[in-house]
A and B are shown apart, each in its own frame.
Chain A
């Protein structure tokens, strides 16, 4: 120890000296591209959480600084973003959003010993044996089985088709929905895939009409659902769509208009209705931000970081990983506990329905 350092220690100035550095937290997601509105929600949530934590004096006396990485939901770009974040020496990552981005990126964070909290729902995210991933949302197989069972009981006498967009998320979800439906004794009349990013789906909706389909279970993102609904309407098919958590996006309503009222989807029980989240929700609304969709998840990811680092006394993987694995964390989205794989011990899903531009629990 140098004499100067000793002097500083003796003067009790260690805290300001340490606080000079910031915690660097990476936030990765689609900030541009088709799914940029989800990226926006993540940004809003993360920014508010960092501001709130920093206002209370930060974590272990250090402030949180956010470093954004835009993957545009493209797996190749996600790898580049992950490398860039590692080079910038981030100490924790919230992201990515699309499963197909999270999967390749997580290997890079794992090699760099960076822990991450993600909302991606494809089972493969945590099934590959990586120990650095903590998923703060349910999995497609859990979500898919909730949707499948719900369809089997709600639409007992209707014809149901299952469609996906060939993405890791969409196909994973649709496969699970079909499996759960079959297990509940409800056979899908059609199981097909479409190509995301196209505009004309009149061929497939006519096919659905020909098969007499009333209900479409869809694994994929909201843009294609809007197109499917509009084109189904044109061939005179009053299609009802049941999808996953991506349908929380209000762009669905802009693009589909009143037809959005035919969309059901599963999402975790609305975190906005969580009593623990009430003061946070109020602060968001005071700042004219509606904490919809992924906003509170991003907020919770940073709360998770704050509490785990405080308990562990540092951000090194050897200290932080066991704390996250065994701890119990109170966040804006409820109390989080993780299993060995890094999945939530008690994920819950509820079925919602869009009505007149806002969504609420469905019957």
Chain B
């Protein structure tokens, strides 16, 4: 019992990160009908920016105080959002209205470019941050297996909850959220009603990138070891999460992320940890075969 509970905590922490990245995929798909293949790289850049901020703060003699963590978070969000905006401006906007294949390929090009750009400017070696705080909070020890949650795990879960709540509020309650949903439903009609569609799409990329930056920062806190290739596998897994939840559906992305995290945790708990990626990607195949709209997705009605 305790063991399963511990794995549940592990899975939720892992899934929180996947969910944050998956929202970026699903939002962009919702509004322009494209998978943004550069999104995994945006997450990687977010992680690098928070490490750079940390190194800078340490060089200035500042320890791992809450203030430094906030600085890491905000610097990473600000600059990563800029990258998200640039990706849309360079790889998507010039191709608006072009055949679907063209922006797909330009996004893959962008992904390769960003990866190599980070490799060249930051070096190919791993970047590491020592554990900012150690130890864990004991939750339950009635069983023979004491359940604990690491302080960093707790931070990851709490930050993700706050960010997701804020994000859900923005989408459902603000003027921008209404515009965003309007453009998702029918960009032409939205434009006729005076909504700046290009600006809304830009903002969608920016928000997706900001969430990916939070995920990157969480990865730095939690694992502390990053390199320029981390975006690929995290991106593909978050993409799987988005598909599982139903691509285009924001609650679906959060749910899909959590489920993928749980599948990975429980697979390595009870079956072979060697093959946990096989489990994840089998889900992708099965969902695409048997339920292409995912768990919470709506079927795409062809308009005549």
Contacts and interface: CB of A to CB of B under 8 A. Distances in A.
B196 to A, nearest CB: 39
Given A207-B268, A234-B136, 12 more contacts: A192-B274, A199-B219, A200-B10, A203-B268, A203-B273, A206-B10, A209-B145, A223-B225, A227-B224, A233-B131, A234-B148, A236-B136
Contacts, number: 124
A30 to B, nearest CB: 9
Nearest to A205: B10
Given A33-B124, A204-B268, A206-B6, A256 B130 contact: yes
B225 A234 contact: no
A81 to B, nearest CB: 15
Interface string A226-237: 110011011110
B13 interface: yes
A207 B269 contact: yes
Interface in A211-242: 223, 226-227, 230-231, 233-236
Q: Tell me which of A195, A223, A235 has the highest count of chain B C-beta atoms within 10 A of its own C-beta.
A: A235
B274 A230 contact: no
A34 interface: yes
A36 interface: yes
A255 B130 contact: yes
B125 A202 contact: no
B273 A193 contact: yes
A153 interface: no
A200 B273 contact: no
A257 to B, nearest CB: 4
A297 to B, nearest CB: 20
A203 B267 CA distance: 8
Interface string B112-131: 00000001000111101111
A305 B44 CA distance: 43
B50 interface: no
A258 B132 CA distance: 11
A87 interface: no
A40 B269 CA distance: 38
Contacts of B265: 202-203, 206
22 contacts: A34-B125, A34-B227, A36-B123, A194-B273, A198-B233, A204-B273, A206-B3, A206-B265, A207-B273, A231-B223, A233-B131, A233-B136, A234-B136, A234-B148, A234-B149, A234-B152, A234-B153, A235-B150, A254-B128, A256-B130, A257-B131, A259-B131
Contacts of A194: 273-274
Interface in B1-34: 3, 6-7, 10-11, 13-14
A255 B222 CA distance: 11
Residue among A37, A197, A257 with the highest chain B CB neighbour number at 10 A: A257
Contacts of A34: 125-126, 227
Contact of B125 (A32, A166, A201): A32
Contacts of A195: 273-274, 276-277
Interface string B260-277: 000011111100111011
Interface of A: 32-34, 36-37, 72, 166, 192-195, 197-204, 206-207, 209-210, 223, 226-227, 230-231, 233-236, 251, 254-259
A235 B274 contact: no
Contact of B224 (A202, A204, A210, A230): A230
Contacts of B14: 200, 202
- A-B pairs, 5 with minimum CB distance: A234-B150, A203-B268, A32-B124, A257-B130, A255-B128
Indicate the size class of the contact surface on chain B. Answer: 35 or more
Nearest to B134: A233
B82 to A, nearest CB: 25
A234 B153 CA distance: 8
B99 interface: no
Given A234-B152, A236-B136, A202 B13 contact: yes
Nearest to A31: B124
B277 A255 contact: no
B174 to A, nearest CB: 34
A47 to B, nearest CB: 19
B138 interface: yes
B146 interface: yes
Given A202-B13, A210-B3, A234-B153, A255 B224 contact: yes
A155 B113 CA distance: 50
A216 to B, nearest CB: 13
A201 B267 CA distance: 12
B166 interface: no
B274 A36 contact: no
Nearest to B266: A203
A169 B166 CA distance: 47
Contacts of A259: 131, 134
Given A193-B274, A207-B269, A259-B131, A223 B126 contact: yes
B230 interface: yes
B61 interface: no
B273 A230 contact: no
A166 B219 contact: no
A202 B10 contact: yes
A33 B119 CA distance: 9
Interface string B196-209: 00000000000000
